[in-house]
Amino acid sequence: MTYVVTEACIKCKYTDCVEVCPVDCFYEGPNSLVIDPDECIDCTLCVAECPVNAIYAEDDLPEDQRQFTALNAELCKVWKCIVEKKDPPADADEWKEVKDKLHLMEKEFAPGEEERNYPGGSKDGKDEDGLTGMDKLLMR
């Protein structure tokens, strides 16, 4: 199984979730996050951190959120790993209660925006020693 980031994250992107993930498997797009299903170890820690309850176990996804399983699996391959909390968008609170935000999800960064978002960032989630979050967990 895996955990899945759903529609509620779009335009909110509070990033509290990334701080608790023991295997660093969150990936960041322009206005939302996804989880890499191959890396998630189903620890459940991130679920309680999200102020808008955007994260579900794959098996518990509401019917209208099922498409996010495929979206998480697809977008984690092209977005970059995020391991530290950052400021949410200035208008994040205005989007907390808004439904049907999927059409607002941005999948690609505007030119130059990616570099501003990820100074020194790593697309594959590896640190400067070439280790992934899972590598570090196994070394503990």
**Candidate segments 38-46, 77-85, 110-118, 121-129, binder of ligand SF4 by CB under 6 A:** 38-46
5 binds ligand F3S (CB under 6 A): yes
- What sign results for the dihedral spanned by CA atoms 126, 19, 90, 101? positive
67 binds ligand SF4 (CB under 6 A): no
Least distance (Å) between residue 110 CB and ligand SF4: 27
Least distance (Å) between residue 41 CB and ligand SF4: 5
**Candidate segments 48-56, 57-65, 69-77, 104-112, binder of ligand F3S by CB under 6 A:** 48-56
What is the rounded distance in angstroms from the CA atom of residue 54 to the CA atom of residue 51?
Answer: 8
Burial class (CB in 10 A: 0-12, 13-18, 19+), 133: buried
Residue type, 40: C
Task: Give the DSSP letter of residue 17.
Answer: H
- 67 is in the binding site of which of ligand SF4, ligand F3S, none (Cβ under 5 to 8 A by kind)? none
Q: Is 44 left (phi over 0), alpha (psi -120 to 50) or beta?
A: left
- 16 is in the binding site of which of ligand SF4, ligand F3S, none (Cβ under 5 to 8 A by kind)? ligand F3S
Least distance (Å) between residue 139 CB and ligand F3S: 26
Can you tell me which residue has the tokens 């176990």?
57
What is the rounded distance in angstroms from the CA atom of residue 17 to the CA atom of residue 120?
Answer: 21
Whether the CB-CB separation of 77 and 29 falls below 8 Å is answered with no
45 binds ligand SF4 (CB under 6 A): yes
105 binds ligand F3S (CB under 6 A): no
76 binds ligand SF4 (CB under 6 A): no
